[in-house]
Structure 1
Amino acid sequence: MTTPLSDLWGDLQAELDRWGTIGGRIRLWLRDDDAIADSPALDALSALAERHGLPVLLAVIPMLAEPSLGQALRRMPLLLPCQHGTWHRNHAKPPAKKAEFGPSRSAPDLDAEIATAWRRLGEVLEAAPLPVFVPPWNRIDPAHAARLPGLGFAGLSCFRGYRLGPEGGPRLANTQLDIMDWTSRTGRRHADLVEETCRLLAAHRLGGERDIAFGVLLHHRDHDDTAWAFLQAFLAAALVHPAVLPGDPRQIFELPLSTTAPDRRTAEPSPQPNVERP
């Protein structure tokens, strides 16, 4: 049976009201993966960000990125690019899950590859991206993650459940809700997404948390009408609630708001990660 829309968003409203009752704060933020080029879908993502005043952390695949992306981002100030791996290639052998930065890869090779990809990303974008690393498939071996600060990265973003190892790493801010069904490569049912959101928020609240960053994971290149419709309705319902604040990725990762130059046509690139510097 299909859940009526009024009941669907009423459940979300009720959970947000509970947050409001305890004086809680939910900083809602967006991360979008696999960007490589300008497209109608990228335009739709930018329009969504503008409509809701919500910056988006745009994870760009450096070695696949095209010049059209840098050109498009000049007119899309709320799409904030960062590094999404290098080639988005799987180096894991079955039955291990897909990963570009798994434990089998050597540190020197991986670090050099990341540094090369960072330089190319800056060239394509004509400006330095945010110093945030997003590994493909949300997986990176903790030993590799621990070296990211030495490569110039201040932030790391994976998916809920990922934790840094004992050696630490950059500031970690995971996304918590994936709007896509990757079996069918379609947008998930709205009722399922709202139920999952309420369950996750309730777990944080009942665990005693009062100030959280709640990240939603997007993939604009794969969105169908169901995915876009959910985003529009979800953001419209959530962002009007006093317990919800629009989250800027720069603030989530404790970066200066000026980290990404506003004018990518004339901005000087900021320092690159310090691997292989002259």
Structure 2
Amino acid sequence: MNRDHWQDLSRELDRWSEGRRRLRLWLRDDDAVAPGAALDRLGELAERFGAPVLLAVIPMLAEPTLAHSLHTMPLLRPCQHGVWHRNHAAAGAKKSEFGPDRDAQAVDAEIALGSRRLAELLGPAVLPVFVPPWNRIDLAHAARLPALGFTGLSCFRGYRLGPLGGPSLLNTHIDVMDWHGGRIGRAPADLLAEIVARLAAERETGTRNADLGLLLHHRDHDETVWHFLAEFLNVAAHPAVNLVDPELLLVPPAPSRSQP
């Protein structure tokens, strides 16, 4: 592909450095259920670039052999991805496992069932982050997640908690897949243009620090995606970028000490 788009990203990151701004880059990967070549490739990518990945595991579909694989790939940080990854939305509505029409007690019992299954399978490695399938969860259901043991909720850009609150939000911002164009990797030029535009907008508002969450789906990646990720993480080894462990995004910043 044309290198101009990669140069645009490098120049934008240089502007962040010049303004002493910092970008916290983190990765989330959805739909993990079993070992395989794609999961191995994701783990190798994480190790090569020192890039922890929040790995959203579907509890009731996860195979026991997944535990051994993740033990050998410590940078893949598992968390709960729904329960069965089933669509309960009415015909014609956007897909959702935890929509507003579902009974609260039934939803809570189902999520708790999934949590127990993941704990039995993966033990203490599971992070207390809930990732709803299709990035959708009703606001009332989201508000009860802390009572179910979750300190984080990860959806997609634009999702906001309702008046009843909920866990800390760890929304992703950029999806590498083109789901409507045939479940293929998005063109790198389009991805880079979107990323650069987002970073420029953050910079122009005077933001000193910002987060950028990249959304992956290892089971669906084609070579376009894998090549983009390797190149992107290579360029992201920039002084303006911190590759962040998703677990650290759950920790609130320490209060600043007042000067004597």
Using the TM superposition, give the Cα deviation of residue 125 of structure 1 relative to its aligned residue in structure 2, in angstroms: 1.7
1:31–1:175 CA contact under 8 A, matched in 2? yes
Listed one character per residue, the Cα deviations across residues 219-248 of structure 1 (whole Å, up to 9, x for unaligned) are: 000001001000000110112x11101111
Match of 1:192 in 2: 190
| 1:130 correspondence with 2:127 | yes
Bigger shift: residues 15-24 or 150-159: 15-24
Alignment of 1:31-42 (within 5 A): 31-42=28-39
Whole-angstrom CA distance in 1 between matches of 2:129 and 2:123: 17
Match of 1:227 in 2: 225
Match of 1:68 in 2: 65
* TM-score, normalised relative to structure 1: 0.88
1:213 is paired with a residue whose SS is strand
Give the residue type in structure 2 aligned to 1:31: R
2:196 is paired with a residue whose SS is helix
Using the TM superposition, give the Cα deviation of residue 208 of structure 1 relative to its aligned residue in structure 2, in angstroms: 2.5
Give the residue type in structure 1 aligned to 2:126: P
* Equivalent residue in structure 1 for 2:165, among 168, 173, 178: 168
Match of 1:44 in 2: 41
Runs of 4+ off more than 2 Å: none
Using the TM superposition, give the Cα deviation of residue 128 of structure 1 relative to its aligned residue in structure 2, in angstroms: 4.9
Whole-angstrom CA distance in 1 between matches of 2:42 and 2:189: 22
Q: Which runs of 5+ in 1 are unaligned?
A: 256-278
Whole-angstrom CA distance in 2 between matches of 1:94 and 1:208: 44
Identity of aligned residues (%): 63
What count of residue pairs does the alignment treat as equivalent? 251
1:213–1:252 CA contact under 8 A, matched in 2? no
Using the TM superposition, give the Cα deviation of residue 8 of structure 1 relative to its aligned residue in structure 2, in angstroms: 1.7
Whole-angstrom CA distance in 1 between matches of 2:103 and 2:217: 29
Give the residue type in structure 2 aligned to 1:136: P
Give the residue type in structure 1 aligned to 2:70: L
* Equivalent residue in structure 2 for 1:108, among 96, 105, 109: 105
2:77–2:125 CA contact under 8 A, matched in 1? no
Using the TM superposition, give the Cα deviation of residue 123 of structure 1 relative to its aligned residue in structure 2, in angstroms: 1.3
1:145–1:169 CA contact under 8 A, matched in 2? yes
Bigger shift: residues 127-136 or 42-51: 127-136
Whole-angstrom CA distance in 2 between matches of 1:68 and 1:205: 44
Match of 1:4 in 2: 2
Match of 1:150 in 2: 147
1:33 is paired with a residue whose SS is strand
* Equivalent residue in structure 1 for 2:27, among 27, 30, 44: 30
Give the residue type in structure 2 aligned to 1:235: L
1:27–1:244 CA contact under 8 A, matched in 2? yes
Give the residue type in structure 2 aligned to 1:113: E
* TM-score, normalised relative to structure 2: 0.94
* Equivalent residue in structure 2 for 1:13, among 6, 10, 14: 10
Give the residue type in structure 2 aligned to 1:227: V
Listed one character per residue, the Cα deviations across residues 95-127 of structure 1 (whole Å, up to 9, x for unaligned) are: 321111111111100000000110011112244
